């Protein structure tokens, strides 16, 4: 199932995005401004969907340090069904922001795993090997990806020199990424394909 199907089922991209956000962060509370910011939505869009969710009792609200906060209602009658639908949907195709990775610098390698592939055992969601990194563009990229995915990303950024050093040291963190489910978005790093091929044997 694609993200586009979810948007049709739930009425809009904003609604599908916010529903995923609350489902994937069931134990956290957010203020209205946090909800709008994290989902990259206009205030009017976020307010409209929030009102729909409150009316349906999909979410609950309460005062937190003098501010109103909202959280997932785990007792919502169809919570488990929606959760399964959300988790089973294909996250990877809906992340249009992945095409912007190459703009953050001289990207040698970009790998997604974890939340992108519904692989919960992974310690990281994305590995980026970049020289001449633009921190501002990286920050913007992560913000957009998190809005599309619906939760905070765990990512690691290293230089090509560090990648070479860590591979020569048989770094367990990197080897685990290569051995476990992953998707290669960009690969300009030498010997990566050979390493991954050996690990898969």
Residue 127 near residue 111 (C-beta atoms within 8 A): yes
Can you state the angle between helices 160-168 and 172-179, rounded to 10 degrees?
90
Q: Which of 90, 120, 147 is the C-terminal boundary of a domain? A: 90
> Given this model, what pLDDT does residue 198 score?
65
In angstroms and rounded to an integer, the radius of gyration of the C-alpha atoms of the chain is 19
Residues of the chain with pLDDT below 50 are: 1-2, 5, 8, 93
* Residue 95, C-beta contacts closer than 8 angstroms, at least 6 positions apart: 116, 145, 148, 149
Q: Is the pTM of this model over 0.85?
A: no
Residues 167 and 153 in one domain: yes
Q: Do residue 84 and residue 100 come from a single domain?
A: no
CB atoms within 10 A of CB 6: 20
- Please tell me whether residues 110 and 196 are part of one structural domain: yes
Domain containing residue 124? 93-200
Do 7 and 38 fall into the same domain? Answer: yes
* pLDDT of res. 199: 61
CA angle 190, 195, 197 (to 5 degrees): 120
Which residue among 41, 59, 90 closes a domain? 90
22 and 56 together in one domain:
yes
């Amino acid at each position: 199932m694609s993200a586009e199907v979810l948007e049709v089922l739930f009425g809009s991209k904003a609604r599908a995005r916010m529903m995923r956000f609350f489902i994937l962060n069931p134990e956290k509370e957010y203020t209205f401004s946090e909800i709008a910011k994290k989902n990259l939505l206009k205030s009017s869009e976020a307010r409209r969907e929030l009102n729909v969710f409150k009316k349906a009792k999909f979410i609950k609200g309460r005062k937190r340090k003098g501010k109103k906060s909202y959280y997932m209602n785990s007792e919502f009658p169809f919570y488990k069904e929606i959760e399964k639908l959300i988790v089973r949907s294909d996250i990877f195709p809906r992340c249009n922001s992945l095409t912007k990775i190459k703009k953050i610098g001289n990207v040698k390698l970009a790998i997604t795993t974890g939340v992108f592939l519904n692989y919960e055992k992974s310690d990281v969601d994305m590995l980026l090997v970049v020289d001449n990194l633009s921190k501002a563009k990286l920050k913007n990229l992560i913000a957009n990806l998190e809005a599309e995915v619906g939760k905070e990303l765990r990512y690691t950024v290293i230089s090509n020199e560090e990648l070479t050093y860590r591979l020569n040291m048989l770094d367990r963190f990197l080897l685990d990424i290569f051995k476990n489910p992953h998707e290669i978005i960009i690969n300009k790093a030498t010997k990566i394909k050979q390493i991954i091929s050996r690990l898969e044997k």
